[in-house]
Chains A and B, each alone.
Chain A
C-alpha cells in the first residue's frame, strides 16, 4: 500500500522535464522506472505517459544487454550487495 501512495499523483515526470531522449549509459536516470528487484515499473504506478514509457522500457532493455542493470535479482545475489558498497 505504501507503494501505491508514493505514486498517487499521476503525471508524467519525463514530460514535465521535457526529455526527448534517454541515454542507456546513464544508469542513475533509469532508477526511477525500476523496482527494487530491477523490474520495469508499470505505467499505472509511475504515471508515465505511453510515449515515455515505451522509451524507458526500450532503454532499460538496452542497459540490461550491456550489463549496466541486472536482468533478475534473486535472493542469492541480494546478499553480497552490501559488501560491494564497502569496496
Chain B
C-alpha cells in the first residue's frame, strides 16, 4: 500500500446534484480498485489559471488515499474515459518526509469539514431544545 493524492477538476457546467454524483463516482473508482480513502477536501468552484476545453472555471476536489501501486494505472484509465473530468492529477508520496506531510494534510482535511458537522449537531440540539 502506498500513499497517494488525487486532484480532480470537474466540469463547471454540471448542476449541484450531478457534481455530487460525479464525485461519488470518482471515489467509487478508487474504492472499487482496493483503495482506502483517508480524507477528502472539496476546494469548490475556482477560477482556472488558463482555460481548459474552453472552460474558465472548474470544481476542484482532492482525495487522499492508500492503494497498491499496481491499481493506479486502472484508476487513471477509468478517469481518462470520464468526459466530465477536465483534469486529474495523481501525486505519489513515497519517502518519510512526504508521508509525514501527507498525514498532516489528511489531518487538516479531516479537521476542515468538522465545523460543518458540529454546526449540524448544534442545529439539531437547538431544534431539540425548541421542541
Q: Which residues of A contact B (CB under 8 A)?
A: 20-21, 23-25, 62, 64-71, 84
Give the distance to chain A from B50, nearest Cβ to Cβ, in Å.
5
Which residues, 1 to 27 on B, are CB-close (under 8 Å) to A?
7, 9
The answer to whether B49 touches A62, judged by C-beta atoms less than 8 angstroms apart, is no
Task: Pick out which of these stretches binds chain A: B68-76, B97-105, B117-125.
Answer: B97-105
The answer to whether B48 touches A67, judged by C-beta atoms less than 8 angstroms apart, is yes
Q: CB-CB < 8 A to A21: which residues of B?
A: 97-98, 100-101
Give the distance to chain A from B24, nearest Cβ to Cβ, in Å.
21
The answer to whether A23 touches B105, judged by C-beta atoms less than 8 angstroms apart, is yes
Q: Could you give 25 example pairs across A and B, Cβ below 8 Å? A: A20-B101, A21-B97, A21-B98, A21-B100, A21-B101, A23-B101, A24-B91, A25-B7, A25-B62, A62-B89, A62-B91, A64-B49, A65-B87, A65-B89, A66-B7, A66-B9, A66-B87, A66-B89, A67-B9, A67-B49, A67-B50, A67-B52, A67-B87, A70-B49, A70-B50
Contact-size category for B: 10 to 19
When chains A and B are docked, how far (Å) is the Cα of A68 from the Cα of B58? Answer: 11
Report the nearest B residue to A87, measured CB to CB: B47
When chains A and B are docked, how far (Å) is the Cα of A52 from the Cα of B9? Answer: 28
Q: CB-CB < 8 A to A64: which residues of B?
A: 49
Q: CB-CB < 8 A to B101: which residues of A?
A: 20-21, 23
